[in-house]
Structure 1
Amino acid sequence: MTAVTTSLPTAPASSGAASPATLEAEGISAWFADHKVLDRVSLTMPALEVTALIGPSGCGKSTFLRILNRMHELIPSASLAGRVLLDGDDIYDRGRRITRARREIGMVFQKPNPFPAMSLYDNVLAGLKLNGIRANSSGKDSLVEECLTKAGLWREVKDRLRQPGGALSGGQQQRLCIARSLAVRPRVLLMDEPCSALDPTSTRRIEETIADLKEEVTIVIVTHNMQQAARVSDNCAFFLAEQGTPGVIVEHGSTDAMFNSPQDSRTSDYVNGRFG
């Protein structure tokens, strides 16, 4: 199937950005071969807010995140049931292209994955060709500056855009990956433990970037850092898999309520560091 090409707006982000969207998971169950890892998980992730997925390792948070932009199906043994709705439209609908889903719902991984031999400039633009987006030189220049600025990296790298992405520090590489994700105008940005391998200064900068980005894109973040979840998120969902059972959401709600007045004792124990 031939990709449909579109022209990239050369206007600033405020006029060219895609509209943010509410993401909803309805009754999501997931398997790897015959091993069930999620059981009937439902969650609404509101537009222009940060939703944090918290819980111990092995409870299905990252699997759930990958399901939200159709990466789960890349694993040969993987299967799922349920629906994922982007402003009411099922991203798994047979008539919906997988490339469209991944363009509208971007992903930033736990380990920074820039193309190490590719320049910073070309790293930011790497998603355009994949998504069939064309732009002239001035449009590309504007987009690179815009996305690096949003990712909090422009001032640090503006004089070395032709240097390879692998020359950056770990924290800078992660912000470069955020910039690359933003270049295709996602409506939702998924982040899988984006600060787990970073030092405190880089972590702070990523968190500042998240705070800025939520003004124009819906964000879902997996984190094991309870302080980080409290700092950056508006809402939390607590995942748990007990005694070999599949992962479920024990409780979800506003971050303030989840940390200060949780309804389930297991939530209170987890957010206060008594297990996990």
Structure 2
Amino acid sequence: MTGTTSMPAADPEAVRPGPAGAPPSPAGPSSPAGALDARSVSAWFGERKVLDRVSLEMPAGRVTALIGPSGCGKSTFLRILNRMHELVPAASLAGEVLLDGEDVYAPERRLTEARRDIGMVFQKPNPFPAMSIYDNVVAGLRLTGIRASRAEKDRLVEECLTKAGLWREVADRLRQPGGALSGGQQQRLCIARSLAVRPKVLLMDEPCSALDPTSTRRIEQTIRELVDEVTIVIVTHNMQQAQRVSDRCAFFLAEQGTPGAVVEHGPTEAMFTAPVDQRTSDYVNGRFG
């Protein structure tokens, strides 16, 4: 992986550098939602360990929410799931990430394939501002080497914008710049762009944190509608949102300078009504964080 460092000698885990980027693979047929399985994932930035042996199953066709205070490694963990962690200078990691039983970090697995199978929606909407709404949606095809005819692109644009809950609002102005949309519309455009390459998993890093309540409700509705066909893993600091949109939760915590770790995970209802660990109860009930 770019800019990896060796792990501190005292730690017995073996750091696994990610391979350099590879050319994209041809498009395959639309795939059903995939199951993610993180096994003993640890992460470092230089000599600083930020995650410690995180193991978490994220079932296919479900929404898994990652909750916990700022600085406990949730976003780092999310970026490890689709190999974005390796883009950070001096970053390294140990452990495994399996998508439907196959190692995302396997040397023979192309980076573009991993990114196509496991899409990402960021905290701040990031459409290509000078690019049209239409071209924003199909941009991922070119980046991942997927070829499509104009008719196929037309169908794909309508399909993905519809799934993202945006088609009715923009159908008559597809050639206008994506950057001219409102913040909430831009975030849904980014979701549509991610869906265009037929991912098995969609990662969302606080996708509603910069949005107004109306846009937040629409994004949450979109998440619940999408989960029938794509697995979703979402980082959120909004406990009500976690309860509304997720099927399962994982509570991350970093205490007194220690690396982030998962305290508890399980069905969302149980996590909020009958958590096993007192720290989980304290956090979800607003006593800290």
Question: Normalised by the shorter chain, which TM-score bucket?
Answer: over 0.9
Return the offset for 1:2.
4.7
Structure 2 counterpart of 1:80: 93
Structure 2 counterpart of 1:163: 176
Counterpart pick for 1:35 among 48, 52, 56: 48
TM-score by length of 1: 0.96
User: Residue type of the partner of 1:44?
Assistant: E
Return the offset for 1:19.
1.6
User: Residue type of the partner of 2:169?
Assistant: E
Structure 2 counterpart of 1:224: 237
CA contact (8 A) 2:251 2:264 kept: yes
Per the alignment, in what secondary structure is the counterpart of residue 189 of structure 2?
A: helix
List gaps (5 residues or longer) in structure 1: 8-15
Instruction: Show CA shifts across 1:140-183 (max 9, x none).
Output: 00000000000000000000000001100000000000000000
List gaps (5 residues or longer) in structure 2: 1-21
Counterpart pick for 2:113 among 100, 108, 121: 100
Structure 2 CA distance, aligned partners of 1:265 and 1:160? 52
Structure 2 counterpart of 1:205: 218
Per the alignment, in what secondary structure is the counterpart of residue 116 of structure 1?
A: coil
- Alignment pair present for 1:266 and 2:279: yes
Correspondences of 1:1-276 after superposition (within 5 Å): 2-6=23-27, 17-276=30-289
What percentage of residue pairs aligned between the two structures are identical? 77
Superposed CA RMSD in Å reads 0.9
User: Residue type of the partner of 1:73?
Assistant: E
TM-score by length of 2: 0.91
User: Residue type of the partner of 1:208?
Assistant: Q
Per the alignment, in what secondary structure is the counterpart of residue 264 of structure 2?
A: strand
Return the offset for 1:18.
1.3
Structure 1 counterpart of 2:3: none
Instruction: Show CA shifts across 1:54-84 (max 9, x none).
Output: 0000000000000000000001210000000
User: Residue type of the partner of 1:5?
Assistant: P
Runs of 4+ in 1 over 6 A off after TM superposition: none
Structure 2 CA distance, aligned partners of 1:3 and 1:164? 27
CA contact (8 A) 2:24 2:110 kept: no
